[in-house]
Structure 1
Amino acid sequence: MSTVDEGTTTRGGVRGGLGESADRPDGVPKVTGDFAFSSDLYARGMLWGRALRSPHPAARIRDIDTSEAEAMEGVACVLTAADVPGKPVYGLEHADQPVLASDVVRFQGEPVALVAAEHPELARRALDSITVDYEPLEPLTDGEAALTEPAIHPDGNIVRYLPLRRGDPDAAGEVVVEGTYEVGMQDQAFMGPESGLAMPTDDGGVELYISTQWLHVDRDQVAACLALPADQVRLTLSGVGGAFGAREDISLQVHACMLALRTARPVKMLYSREESFLGHVHRHPARMWYRHTATSSGDLVSVEARLLLDGGAYASSSTAVLGNAVCFSAGPYRVPNARIDGWVVRTNNPPCGAMRGFGAVQVCFAHEAQMDRLAEALGMDPVELRLRNALESGDELITGQVLHGTAPVRACIEEAIAHDEPPEPSPDDPETLRPGGAGLTADPDGVRRGTGVAVGFKNLMYSEGFDDFSTASVRLERGPDGEPLASVHCAAAEVGQGFVALAQQIVRTELGVEQVHLLPADTLIGSAGSTSASRQTWMSGGAVQLACQAVRDELAQRAAERLDAPIDGLLFEGRAFSTLDGERARIGDLLDRPAEKVREHHHVETEPLDEHGQGSAHVSFAFAAHRASVDVDPELGLVRVRQIATGQDVGRALNPRSVVGQIEGGIAQGLGLAVMEEIVVDDGLVKNPSFTDYLIPTALDMPEVAATMIEQPEPGAPYGAKGVGEPPTISSTPAVVAAVRAASGRRLPRVPVRQEDLALGRADGEVTGVVAPHVAGAPR
């Protein structure tokens, strides 16, 4: 449970340090509308860039005629694949996606040409005047077919196959349950569409102001495609209007820079909402078959699963997403025997990549449904079954990795169910609280209450041997008022998670300095890695901590010289160093010259999984449990989630208000996937690329969130803190669906649950079309 005292102070009485709900420096301007997002960028003399996108999910390009667009007054340039100056392909992990399609297109919305014009409307008209002669092809849209059909990409259809074998895969208990499950394609649905401004520089390079999650990996890909050295491509983070994984991949970065270099003028690109839906990656759809066995007393004996993820047209981060799906496929439970086979494939569906939860979301929906089925078969309470099998510190995962850190799985479950449940549905409830809400309101007499519980977990930081690190610089000097002023320089992308506040809190805690200035995140300092994998608190927070400590050591040396005292005999009081006999050296008096230090923070080494899916592939893990209380009108197929209660493992809450915000936001996305959010793809074509037709929870859809933070400081983590952004999304979805099952009596093996699934029972049976055991070398 949370034990944070929000009234604590840092060294020397400075407020706003770790453990407090410190205000965010970007909070007020975002609320008032004064914050500058990347879509607000402007430069004198700038042009507007746009991309022409394929209307087909699969086609050959026979010809592109740009002559009419090039002749239009006010059009500065038109570019095609032949104009890419460097590497023609890019990719987050594998360079397999063309900057501009040249011979074939592999998904609807793939860029084929670029224009830069004096006005955005003129750029649109120029695009309309470009003629592309396509030869449409039959799209490959079924993931299972992709395992055996002819390749749609030179690198093949199978991006990765990952088998995992643990113990005796043929072992079985007395009780056996099987199920087949499906997860639809979810969009990150951030509020700020992709946008950026590219400006040519005098040295022949380019400066790019961009909303992204990883400045340095963007820079490296852009530089390669432009045939420029990395030091001639400089990126600065601009205000990010949400991310959730979709900004890890290149979108307009190379395009804007190509146009700026060709025209020798600044070029701004800003996606429309439809273009954003078509132009960024989504959550991988999944089909999953599971078999669980257990003893008659409820001890898990084995888990067998076959997982198929649809990666869409290009690889993006699919290999890592599949790695997570396989590693976490059995859930946070003791499982002595496992046989898991996982595939991720290319199709002509929209590309898929990172999204909050990153592979763990899909399998959590399946393994938690299986735990409920198993509890039913055993005649056991679902909570009791989970508590009986919950992982503890010292246990082994199905990968063979030992849990050396904290693993408060039982505490998460116990705290989630300890919250008071909401009142039972009543005819006196206002319409807004009934399923359907006002205007589509359920008959109170037909409303049924259901409750469901689910538990999930996920890794923190990068895995499987990736060299993960973050860099930060801290400079301490006298400010204009003579008081100490600290400046922090770190390339960590602030995408709404609150790192800007955390960095200030760390400096106040470590140096006792009230004034903390944050320099822009850019590529002038070393990489901070991506704002993903719940890693920035641990990694970039750790880098800021190390830099602060190095600055403090430098000041201690200066104090020792000034006081003529041994350095190991000095006491740091926050505002001064003192000796045992009371002599003091104020920090401000030691800053006759600035003290500045740069440090890198690395986590413990991980290792790749071996041929059997075994190995210590992960650094640390975070756990969460959710209990959902849901009202359902089965006749109309309407659902109203009344409460989601959670117990979440946070390590240590460094900013309690920010942690709660992350929990609430993550639950909103989990709720969305459970009952409303899905990119509808028909024969490779996206049918709902707008917020008119792609529905996300609003404030009126959100239930009460009852959250308990479980604080067990993680060994090896800076300040004992764990990342908190992803666990709220992972197990909230299956908790909601379990509650809907309880209220409706339907099996519901697919998310999102649709109205017809309840009213007509369309999702009562098994999902079909799941990977067969003999495919792609998956031995029995």
Structure 2
Amino acid sequence: MAQNTRTAPAGTPTKVTQNHNRGGIGASTLRPDGTLKVTGEFAYSSDMWHEDMLWGHTLRSTVAHAEIGNIDISEALATPGVHAVLTYDDLPAETKNYGLEIQDTPVLAHGRVRHHGEPVALIAADHPETARRAAAKIKIDYRELPVVTDEASALAPDAPLLHPGRTDHHAGHVPHPNVLHRQPIIRGNVEEARKRADVIVEGEYVFGMQDQAFLGPESGLAVPGEDGGVDLYVATQWLHSDLRQIAPVLGLPEEKVRMTLSGVGGAFGGREDISMQIHACLLALRTNKPVKMVYNRFESFFGHVHRHPAKLRYEHGATKDGKLTHMKCRIVLDGGAYASASPAVVGNASSLSVGPYVVDNVDIEAIALYTNNPPCGAMRGFGAVQACFAYEAQMDRLAAKLGMDPVEFRRLNAMEQGTVMPTGQVVDSPAPVAELLRRVKARPLPPERQWEVAGGDADVRALPGGLSNTTHGEGVVRGVGYAVGIKNVGFSEGFDDYSTARVLLEVISGEPVAMVHTAMAEVGQGGVTVLAQIARTELGVDQVTIHPADTRVGSAGSTSASRQTYVTGGAVKNSCELVREKVLELGRRKFGSYHPAWATAELLLEDGKVVTDGGEVLAHLVDVLEDETVEIEAEWRHRPTEALDLVTGQGFGHVQYTFAAHRAVVEVDTELGLVKVIELACAQDVGKQLNPLSVVGQIQGGTTQGLGVAVMEEIIVDPKTAKVRNPSFTDYLIPTILDTPTIPVDVLELADPNAPYGLRGVGEAPTLSSTPAVLAAIRNATGLELNKTPVRPEHLTGTL
């Protein structure tokens, strides 16, 4: 077995010639797990089973902020069927906290709890109901403390400090210990630019807390090993990040914590943080039995982070001919009780707060707060969503004040390749913002009054309120709105963002086959098809197997930031290229320079191309490999980024930008306050479609999540107690098929010269602009300001 490892930087995309029938790059290959999922046969992490397993359960705090007095577990331990009850004092290692960037989150609460639903104790029992009953018998003495719920209470002179004595690397540059991170960006001279403005528009905006609402709640199975280690099968987004946080708390070296990805029912950022992973391992190691943990939906609302709610204050100026003069904004993100990904979200919110526009003079400040509200972290769009909602509302207000068409005003100020971002970074790849806007505007509008049918009756399904039959069209008005957004791709601000791929090429039963092994978490985004497509294209083989993701191969990073096709796809491409080089070496060694097998191997390398005659390639590969196996593991890194300056915000912060525009068409019952979104047309530049079917699916999915936060989704937290009021899908609503409009998609392919195949990340950008487009359409229909998400009926009827 030949092995080789090397690190390769990002390179210029190579020209690829492929046979689409083989399922290579550019083909709409179907998901191998698609049929299993729609028929209910797919095995998710919650379906795992071990014959002698126990069930784990987490006891969570019933209050948001309190000192913990005595914890009495005696009755719980005495419950028949209970094998273990663990509290903070039972943790086996010196390390008792974890966290993505800042290790401020306790495995189990100690001294005090900081948010509603914080884990306090763990129970393992032979039946899940036994574990729950035992948990109810644990007596905890809570001495409640004042809660911090917003900026005013967090920064008040007598504010309780959520993390007193904090020593993390952000602590030295924040104005108050309850400010987790602060990022200013200063460029140009706002005060001087303000003098040149003919119109100035100010606005305050409120963005609600959104839940990822993934299909499968948190779950996993921990199995103790004979070597004193543990095997963990879990649904997650980032195996190696989990490993880095889990091992120290267990007191084990990383090689004794073996992690394998199990079936993941969606993620959207909610699985980037640890949930049940450490707890299941602790119980398995304590009982020396396999332990399965599965959250119910109620517990899931407390078991993962959410999208940061935000308050945003913006000021824009423009000349009478429509050119932007300046922008000033302040963005306050509520990070909740623990850090999670809040520092990175602050960086994204600040650096993308201008939007896809040319503004030479900016004064930006973004902060994240520690509060007693639920912890917030990664969710699809990651800081850029909140900013887009505000700056797009501002664009509409400016256009109205200037008497200009809102799309033409945006196009006039649209950035393009060569634009300098507020951070000083030059956009060095296509930025077709004006073209995306042109395309969505040019699309024909859906017919008006679609509810009218022959005979004078109404098709109530086409009306706001739908099948509830609340109206037959009285008081229903149409509105049209536009929005466009900018999102970064990949990890930013100097993070060492890389991925690893192991590729094996061998001959089985006379046919060359490849196996691709990465730690990439397949969470529904489609990497399971794309990685195989890359291997088919680069190696010229038909049969490609994707090895289950685990920690027995190097890290692939997180399935987030629209990065996996870019970075792990780049790693697979790189490893395949190294395999081709090895095949060439074998051909030379075996047959000399005149054997056709050697010539074919060299042809595979020529200009990075794969020949279209797959049969010839396959035959020669068999001839070269015979009994040989070529296996290579290699890392791949994109071009480096750098941290933003903490005073000016200048720096090459992002590796790539991606853009999407939406046009929303809505119908609003102004008497009842009901909204029906008729159409959400999207135009997006994806650089290169590796799998066109998957690309459209990602755009439509992201668009629908943006629709949800526009008109229905919000976690409600009591401002007096910091308790979550709606932790269920009965009271937290998400769009169903009846709420989902027609979503036509217009895909541009303008290659990024710095990316593999010229591709851009796809999944997040449509989540940005769909929300403000829907709000713009509702404003257009009603004439109301509507500066808060989600829009509720009382906002439209004036009853609030």
Q: TM-score range by the shorter chain?
A: over 0.9
Q: Distance in 2 between matches of 1:252 and 1:218?
A: 11
Q: Secondary structure at the match of 2:190?
A: coil
Q: Distance in 2 between matches of 1:374 and 1:11?
A: 48
**Secondary structure of 1:49's aligned partner:** strand
Q: 1:576 deviation in Å? A: 10
Who is 2:736 aligned against?
Answer: 698
Structure 1 residue ranges, 4+ long, deviating more than 4 angstroms after superposition = 8-14, 566-571, 573-578, 582-585
Does structure 1 retain, via aligned residues, the 8 Å contact 2:86–2:123? yes
Give 2:37's aligned residue: 30
Aligned residue among 623, 639, 662 for 1:589: 623
Question: Within the alignment, does 1:329 sit opposite 2:356 as a pair?
Answer: no
Asked whether the equivalents of residues 182 and 285 of structure 1 are also in contact (C-alpha less than 8 Å), the reply is: yes
Structure 2 CA distance, aligned partners of 1:244 and 1:162? Answer: 25
Q: In the TM superposition, what whole-angstrom CA distance separates every residue of 1:416-436 from its partner, at most 9, and x where no partner exists? A: 222211111254351111011
- 1:229 is aligned to 253
How far, CA to CA, are the matches of 2:375 and 2:218 in structure 1? Answer: 16
Contact 1:292 1:302 in 2 (8 A): yes
Alpha-carbon distance between aligned partners in 2 of 1:577 and 1:707, rounded to the nearest angstrom:
32
From 457, 474, 493, the equivalent of 1:445 is 474
- Counterpart contact for 1:282–1:355, Cα < 8 Å: yes
Corresponding residue SS for 2:22: coil
Question: Which residue matches 2:179?
Answer: 158
1:124-523 map, 5 Å = 124-148=132-156, 149-154=159-164, 155=166, 156-170=177-191, 171-172=193-194, 173-426=197-450, 427-428=452-453, 430-479=459-508, 481-523=509-551
User: How many angstroms apart in 2 are the aligned matches of 1:625 and 1:667?
Assistant: 10
Q: In the aligned structure 1, how far is the partner of 2:711 from the partner of 2:638?
A: 38
- Once residues 753 and 274 of structure 1 are traced to their aligned partners in structure 2, the CA distance between those partners, rounded to angstroms, is 24
Deviation at 1:584, TM superposition (A): 11
2:124 maps to 1:116: yes
Identical amino acids, percent of aligned pairs:
56
Q: Could you tell me which residue of structure 2 aligns to residue 729 of structure 1?
A: 767
Would you say 1:92 and 2:96 are equivalent positions? Answer: no
* Aligned-pair CA distance for 1:507: 0.8
Task: For 2:112, give the aligned amino acid.
Answer: V
CA distance in 1 between partners of 2:742 and 2:618 (Å): 52
Distance 1:621 1:158 in 2: 28
When residues 508 and 378 of structure 1 are mapped into structure 2, their CA distance, relative to the original with a 3 A threshold, is: same
Residue 560 of structure 1, CA deviation: 2.5
Aligned residue identity for 1:74: G
SS in 2 for 1:549: helix
- SS, match of residue 705 in structure 1: coil
Equivalent position of 1:710 in the other structure: 748
User: How far off its partner does 1:573 sit?
Assistant: 6.1
Is the 2:16–2:610 Cα contact (8 Å) retained in structure 1? no
The aligned residue for residue 790 of structure 2 is 752
CA distance in 2 between counterparts of 1:576 and 1:420 reads 41
Partner of 2:562: 534
Give the aligned residue type for 2:589. Answer: E
Report the AA paired with residue 487 of structure 1.
M
Q: Does 2:655 correspond to 1:647?
A: no
Distance 2:42 2:379 in 1: 25
Q: Tell me, yes or no, if the aligned pair for 1:425 and 1:447 is still in contact at 8 Å.
A: no
Distance in 1, Cα, partners of 2:482 & 2:186? 28
Match of 2:11 in 1: none
TM superposition shift of 1:9: 11
SS of residue in 2 equivalent to 1:458? strand
Q: Deviations over 1:500-539 (max 9, x none)?
A: 0001101111111111111110000000000000000000
**Aligned partner of 1:60 among 67, 78, 86:** 67
1:572 is matched with: 603
Within 2, Cα distance between the matches of 1:616 and 1:231? 36
Do 2:600 and 2:620's aligned partners in 1 also have CA atoms closer than 8 Å?
Answer: no
Give the TM-score of the pair, scaled to structure 2: 0.92
Aligned equivalent of 1:42: 49
1:419-464 deviations in Å (ceiling 9; x for gaps) = 2111112543511110111114334131100000001011000000
**Separation in 2, partners of 1:719, 1:758:** 47
Q: Which runs of 5+ in 1 are unaligned?
A: 1-7, 763-780
Q: Following TM superposition, by how much is the alpha carbon of 1:279 offset from its aligned partner in structure 2, in angstroms?
A: 1.2
Instruction: Report how many aligned residue pairs link the two structures.
Output: 752
Alpha-carbon displacement from aligned partner over 1:306-359 (angstroms, at most 9, x marks no partner):
110000110000000011000111110000000011110011000000000000
Partner amino acid for 2:736?
T
Q: Against the structure 1 CA distance between its residues 290 and 45, is the aligned structure 2 distance closer, same or farther, given a 3 Å change threshold?
A: same
Note if contact 2:353-2:388 (Cα within 8 Å) is conserved in structure 1.
yes
Q: Partners of 2:679 and 2:232 in 1: how far apart?
A: 44
Residues 456 and 727 in structure 1, CA contact (< 8 A), matched pair in contact too:
yes
* 1:598 matched to 2:633: yes
Is residue 708 of structure 2 the alignment partner of residue 672 of structure 1? Answer: yes
Q: Which amino acid aligns with 1:504?
A: A
Indicate conservation of the 8 Å contact 1:14/1:513, yes or no.
no
Compared with structure 1, are the counterparts of its residues 658 and 584 closer, same or farther at alpha carbon in structure 2 (3 Å cutoff)? closer
- SS of the equivalent of 1:444 reads coil
Equivalent AA in structure 2 for residue 453 of structure 1: Y
Question: Is the CA contact (8 Å cut-off) linking 2:99 and 2:105 kept in structure 1?
Answer: yes
8 Å CA contact 2:258, 2:551 repeated in 1:
yes
The 2-side partners of 1:425 and 1:741 are apart by 19
Q: Deviations over 1:187-246 (max 9, x none)?
A: 000010000000111111111000000000100100011111111111100000000000
Q: CA deviation at 1:144?
A: 3.5
Structure 1 SS opposite 2:183: strand
Mean Cα deviation higher: 153-162 or 45-54 = 153-162
* Structure 1, 111-120 or 164-173: larger mean CA deviation: 164-173
CA gap of 1:76–1:456, structure 2 versus 1, over 3 A, is: same
Q: Give 1:761 deviation, angstroms.
A: 6.0
Aligned-partner residue type, residue 155 of structure 2: L
Checking the alignment, whether the CA contact within 8 Å between 1:419 and 1:706 is kept in structure 2 is no
For the 8 Å contact 2:521–2:558, the answer to whether it is kept is yes
Aligned-pair RMSD on alpha carbons? 2.0
Query: Is contact 1:147-1:345 (8 Å) kept?
Result: no
State the TM-score, normalized to the length of structure 1.
Answer: 0.94
Query: What SS is found at the alignment partner of 1:732?
Result: helix
* Cα distance, 1:486–1:14 mapped onto 2, change above 3 Å: farther
Q: CA contact under 8 A between 1:37 and 1:238: conserved in structure 2?
A: yes
Q: Secondary structure at the match of 1:485?
A: strand
CA deviation after TM superposition for structure 1 residue 13, in Å:
7.7
Q: Distance in 2 between matches of 1:217 and 1:751?
A: 32
- SS in structure 2 opposite 1:462? coil
